Every structure is written in structure tokens, then in C-alpha cells.
């Protein structure tokens, strides 16, 4: 994807670390490490606060594996999130940035919530890719890991572009051998934001109240937390200026339009 398109949770680093600090989070679990751009500041945070970091990623960059092995505050688990989470305990905060599809994110939230309740901790989750294109459209790193009833029709060569709920064969923003897009955006059980909404609806039916802030930049950051947590007001105050901020949303749309235009030029050049 290159430097032309910033895409890491690290872009939200200051805000994420502020939220962790306000919540007094000591044990942090990060799902989806890739090159470790966000893992590094999280590891520094844990070193500073005497906490620990669990980084879950079945296929991060090779350099990341060597780096993590040398970090006293970091434990890397090389398994998919839903296989790994059940064995964890004492997690204060979760970063979710692994496989960006409804099935995975919904079940990651259910698992994080169950563990938090079992361990007597308020839920705190920071989720990436809550904005376009994953908000209402699944993407799959490993479609074979998704149960059939949850898997949207998808293709590795399908590309996506703004204001088009369908797909572009071999054009637009596509997975380049890394992942596949669902061929259609929208509808039930499709996309990261849909998973968050369904999870929140389910917890409300259980009589619990969660708060959710939506930062519309760099593919979107969601901050989901227990409204009854002792630190809930402080975290709400910290995230409020960013929540659904129209200026950020405008800049993000402009950034995406520029990037998609560059892809279009590149694709035109490749066929000429």
C-alpha cells in the first residue's frame, strides 16, 4: 500500500495511549500487529506503566516476530484471534485490527466482553477500520476461516471504490493477493461497523450500557467502552472532540478520493 496511504492504528497513537492511560489499562491485547507500527508504542506504554502486551497475529511481518521475541513486555501469539482469546486473562483493553469482517469482529467483541466480565473488568475496546471501506463491507484475509453462513460472496481481484456498493473487477482498491473484498457492501452481517452495532444491541438487551465514539479518519477508529466504568467520563471527554467530527470526515473522504485516483492512473498506465 506504500507510504502514499497511511493506514496504521499508530496514526491514532496519542489518542489511543491517552485512553489507555485514563482507563489505567495495564494488560493490553492487540489483535493484528502486521509490522508492529502500533505494537511499538504499546510496548513502550507497557514498559512505562509496568504492564504487559499480548500481540495476536497469525501472520505478521517476519521482522515483527524477531522484534517481539526480544521485548520483555510483549508476548506474541501466532494464532488467529478467535483461537487465541479464550486462553487469555486479566486483559484491561483490547485493540482490534485483525481480519476486518463481520464474523470475526462480532465474535472478537463477544469474546472480549465475556473475558472482561469473568475477570471483573469494564470493557474497553479500540477498533480500527470502522469507516469506509470496511464499515459495511467484509474483507477477508482467510475466507476459509469464516463459517459458510457468515461468508459474503468475495473475490481476491475485486476492487472497491467510493459511492459504489458493488465492485470493480481488477480495478479500484483491492487486496493485491493479501485479502478479498465482499462483492457487495451493505445488508445484514456485512462489515465491521455492522458487527459493532449488532454487538451493542445485544449487550443493551442484556441490560448493560456501552458508549461508542467514532473517529472518522484513517479508515476510522471506534472506541467502545462500558458506560459504568469509573473512568468512563474521562475517556468520553477525551474522545468527544473527534467523535463524528465533520472536518475529519471531509479530510478522510478527500484522502480516499486522491488515493483512488492515483490507483486509477496506475491501472490505466498498466493497460496502455
Ligand X SMILES: C[S@@+](CC[C@H](N)C(=O)[O-])C[C@H]1O[C@@H](n2cnc3c(N)ncnc32)[C@H](O)[C@@H]1O
In whole angstroms, the minimum distance from the beta carbon of 194 to ligand X comes to: 18
131 vs 229, which CB is nearer to ligand X?
131
First to last CA, the chain: 22
63 vs 237, which CB is nearer to ligand X?
63
In whole angstroms, the minimum distance from the beta carbon of 104 to ligand X comes to: 6
In whole angstroms, the minimum distance from the beta carbon of 133 to ligand X comes to: 13
175 vs 229, which CB is nearer to ligand X?
175
In whole angstroms, the minimum distance from the beta carbon of 77 to ligand X comes to: 9
In whole angstroms, the minimum distance from the beta carbon of 233 to ligand X comes to: 27
102 vs 141, which CB is nearer to ligand X?
141
97 vs 113, which CB is nearer to ligand X?
97
In whole angstroms, the minimum distance from the beta carbon of 99 to ligand X comes to: 4
100 vs 136, which CB is nearer to ligand X?
100
Catalog residues that contact ligand X under the rule CB under 6 A: 8-10, 31-34, 37-38, 56-60, 80-81, 97-99, 104, 141
How far is 46 from 53, CA to CA, in rounded Å?
A: 7
Amino acid at each position: 500500500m506504500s507510504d502514499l496511504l497511511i493506514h496504521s492504528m499508530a496514526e491514532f497513537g496519542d489518542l489511543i495511549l491517552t485512553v489507555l492511560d485514563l482507563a489505567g489499562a495495564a494488560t493490553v491485547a492487540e489483535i493484528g500487529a502486521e509490522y508492529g507500527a502500533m505494537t511499538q508504542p504499546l510496548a513502550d506504554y507497557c514498559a512505562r506503566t509496568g504492564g504487559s502486551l499480548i500481540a495476536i497475529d497469525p501472520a505478521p511481518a517476519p521482522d515483527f516476530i524477531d522484534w517481539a521475541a526480544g521485548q520483555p513486555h510483549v508476548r506474541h501469539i501466532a494464532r488467529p484471534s478467535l483461537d487465541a482469546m479464550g486462553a487469555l486473562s486479566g486483559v484491561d483493553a483490547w485493540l482490534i485490527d485483525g481480519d476486518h469482517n463481520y464474523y470475526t469482529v462480532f465474535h472478537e467483541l463477544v469474546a472480549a466482553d465475556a473475558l472482561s466480565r469473568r475477570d471483573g473488568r469494564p470493557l474497553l475496546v479500540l477498533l480500527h477500520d470502522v469507516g469506509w471501506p470496511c464499515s459495511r463491507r467484509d474483507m477477508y484475509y482467510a475466507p476459509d476461516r469464516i463459517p459458510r453462513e457468515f461468508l459474503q460472496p468475495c473475490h481476491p481481484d475485486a476492487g472497491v471504490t467510493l459511492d459504489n456498493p458493488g465492485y470493480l473487477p481488477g480495478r479500484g482498491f483491492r487486496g493485491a493477493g493479501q485479502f478479498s473484498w465482499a462483492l457487495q457492501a451493505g445488508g445484514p452481517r456485512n462489515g465491521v461497523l455492522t458487527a459493532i452495532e449488532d454487538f451493542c444491541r445485544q449487550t443493551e438487551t442484556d441490560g448493560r450500557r456501552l458508549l461508542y465514539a467514532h473517529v472518522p479518519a484513517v479508515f476510522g477508529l471506534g472506541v467502545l467502552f462500558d458506560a459504568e466504568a469509573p473512568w468512563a467520563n474521562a475517556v468520553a471527554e477525551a474522545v468527544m472532540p473527534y467523535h463524528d467530527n465533520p472536518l475529519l470526515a471531509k479530510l478522510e473522504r478527500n484522502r480516499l478520493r486522491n488515493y483512488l485516483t492515483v490507483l486509477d492512473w496506475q491501472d490505466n498506465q498498466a493497460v496502455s
